[in-house]
Structure 1
Amino acid sequence: MATRIITDSSVDFPEELLNELNVTVVPLNLLFGDEEYKAGVDLDTPTFYQKLKKSKELPKSSAPSPQDFLTKFEETSPEDDILVVALSEALSSTYDNAVLAKKMFHEEHPDRNIEVINSKTASSGLGIIVYHAAEMARDGHSFNDIVEQAHEYTEDTLTMFLLDTLENVIKGGRLDRVRGTIASALNIKLLMKASDDDGSLEVLDKIRGNKRAIRQFIQKIGDYGHNLEDKVIAVAHSNCEDKARALIDQIQERYPFKQVILSTMGPLIGTYAGEGGLLVSFKKN
C-alpha cells in the first residue's frame, strides 16, 4: 500500500522533482480575455509571462472543479491512500472543491483513506509541504505519519515575497491607483507574507529602494527561522532568474540551509507579483 500525493498547479516547484516523487498536479484554470487555459497543461510558464506583458488586463484564475479532483482520485490504485495538499482556502475555492471531491469519492469507495489539507499558503510554500510529504511517501512511511507531518508543516511553513513593481496590485484593485502611483514614484517595494492564521496575504513592510528591500528580505529569514541547517528553502521568481540566483547567493552566504530549490512563479502568484517578484518559503522551526 502506497500514499499518493496530489496538489494543484499553484505549486511553484521544479516539475522534474514533482515527477520524480510521483506527485499528481491538478491544474487551475486561467482566463486571458476570451481565451481559457489549464495552467501547466496548455499554457506553460514562459508563454504565460509573454501574454501577461501584452495584456492590458490581468488574467483571471479559477479553481479546479470537484470533478477535476475526482478524476485524479479515480486514477489511483485501489490499494493507495490519498493525501491532497491544496492552495490556501483564503485565496481560492480549490480546497473546498477538493473536499467535495473527497465526499463524492467516499460514496463509491468508503474504505479508502483520503485526507485533504488546507496548506494556508501557495507557490513554493505549498511546494515545501508537498515535497516533504512526497519524500515520506517514497520512503515508505505510514499514511497517518505523512498526514501528521503535512499538518505540522502547514502550521510552520513561512511564505514571504517581495514585489519589485506595484503595477499588478494596482491593476488588480488591491492598491488604490493614486497611492500606488505615488509609491511607485518613490520606489517603494512591498514585503509581504502569507498570514499565519489563514494564509491570506498581508503586508510586512514598505521599503524604499531595491537594495534596502533585498537586505530586509534576507534579514526576515533570520528573524523567523531557527536551526536552518536542517531546513530546505525554496526560492521562486517572477520571470527574473538572474535576480533570484543573486538572492540565493546572499542567502547562502548568511544562512546554512541544507538545500536550496529554485523555481519560477506560475500564473497564480506571478499575476499578483508582476515582473521581478521574489518569493522564499521554508519551515521555520
Structure 2
Amino acid sequence: MKRNDHGWKLVSDSGCSLLVPDGPDGLAGIDIDIDHAEVPFVISVDNTDYIDEPGIDIEKMLEHIANCRSGGRTSCPSPHAWLEAWGDAENVIAFTLSAALSGSYNSAIAARHMALEKNPGRNIAVINTCGAGTMPGCLMQAVSDGVDDGDSFDVIAKTAENIARNTNVMFALGSLDNLIKAGRLNKFVGYAAHRFNISAIGVASPGGRIELRHKFRGMKKIYGKLIDTLRETGFAGGELVISHCMNEDGAEKLGHLIKAEWLDTDVSVVPASGLCSYYMGKGGMIITYRE
C-alpha cells in the first residue's frame, strides 16, 4: 500500500513509549512504515533540565536527584509540543501517559482542539492509556494492519484504544522516593520505605493509578514476587515488554523466568525512558503485557 508523508502518524509521550519494530527482522518479523514520533517530558533538578529524549543521561540525572535536597520535578509536554510532533499528518493517533498521573492527556486534548480549529478535516484521536512504560508492538501492528486493510480512521483508532486500555501494567519499584514526593503514593508508605529498606511491586488500577500489591525488604525477592503477581493478574502468555532503569541483566533474568513459566510468551527488553526511570528508581522495571 502506498503511504505518503501526510498520511498516518502515531505519536506518544515519553511516559508511554511505542515499541517499534525495526524492519523485517523486528518484532514478530513485521515491517511497519507508518510514521511515528515521541514528545518528551522534562525532568528538572536544581537549575538543570533533562529532556526525556534519546541520549538523555539517566545515570547522571538520578545521581543529581540523589544529591539534591529538593529532589526534582517533571513537566509534561505542552500543546505546542504535541502539535509540532503531529506535523501535517492527516490521520493522527496520540497516546499519553495515564491521565491520573500526569497532565499530558489534557495537553494533547488542547492541542487537538487547536489543530481542528485550523483544519477541521483532519482526523486526530487522543488516547489515555491509563498506563506507563512501553506499549506492546501489537499496537502498532494493529494500526498498520487496519491501514493496509482500508479500515476507517474511527475503526482503527478504536482498535488502538482497546489495545492500549487493555494492556496490563506492573511496576517493580527500585525506589519509592520520587513517587511519594510527587504525591503519587502515601507519605506513610514513604517513611516506612526509608526506614525499613522496603521495595514494592504495583499494578496500574483500572483508573490508571498506581496500586501497590506487595511490599518487601530489599530486592532479592523481586523475581518471585513478580511471577506471583503475574499469576494473580491472570497472565497466561502473550506479548510482554520489560522496560528497565539501568538493570538490563535483571530484566533479562526476569524475561527468562517468565518464558520458563509461560512458554507461549514473546518477551522484549528495552531501556526505560527518563520519566519512567525518575519515578521507579535505579534497578526498577515496568512490565507491560497483553494476553
Matched, 1:190 2:161: no
Larger relative helix fraction: 1
Structure 1: 5+ residue stretches without partners: none
RMSD of equivalent CA atoms: 2.8
Matched, 1:135 2:141: yes
> Residue 239 of structure 2 aligns to which amino acid in structure 1?
V
> Residue 7 of structure 1 aligns to which amino acid in structure 2?
S
Structure-2 residue corresponding to 1:280: 287
Contact kept in structure 1, 2:8 and 2:35, CA below 8 Å: no
1:154 to 142, 147, 164: 164
Shift of 1:266: 2.0
Structure 2: 5+ residue stretches without partners: 24-31
Shift of 1:57: 3.6
Aligned partners of 1:249 and 1:13: how far apart in 2? 23
Structure-1 residue corresponding to 2:251: 244
Shift of 1:38: 2.4
Change (3 A) 1:45 1:213: closer
Matched, 1:112 2:112: no
Structure-2 residue corresponding to 1:25: 38
> Residue 112 of structure 2 aligns to which amino acid in structure 1?
K
- Runs of 4+ in structure 1 displaced over 6 angstroms? none
Matched, 1:7 2:16: no
Structure-1 residue corresponding to 2:26: none
Secondary structure of the corresponding residue to residue 154 of structure 2: helix
- After TM superposition, the score normalised by the length of structure 1 is 0.83
Higher relative CO (Cα under 8 Å, sequence separation at least 6) belongs to 1
Matched, 1:199 2:208: yes
Structure-2 residue corresponding to 1:34: 47
> Residue 241 of structure 2 aligns to which amino acid in structure 1?
A
Change (3 A) 1:31 1:184: closer
Secondary structure of the corresponding residue to residue 221 of structure 2: helix
Matched, 1:216 2:225: yes
- After TM superposition, the score normalised by the length of structure 2 is 0.82
Aligned partners of 2:263 and 2:70: how far apart in 1? 41
Query: What is the aligned-residue identity percentage?
Result: 25
Secondary structure of the corresponding residue to residue 168 of structure 2: strand
Contact kept in structure 2, 1:190 and 1:205, CA below 8 Å: yes
Structure-2 residue corresponding to 1:66: 79
> Residue 200 of structure 2 aligns to which amino acid in structure 1?
L
Structure-2 residue corresponding to 1:176: 187
Structure-1 residue corresponding to 2:95: 85
Shift of 1:146: 2.4
Aligned partners of 2:162 and 2:75: how far apart in 1? 28
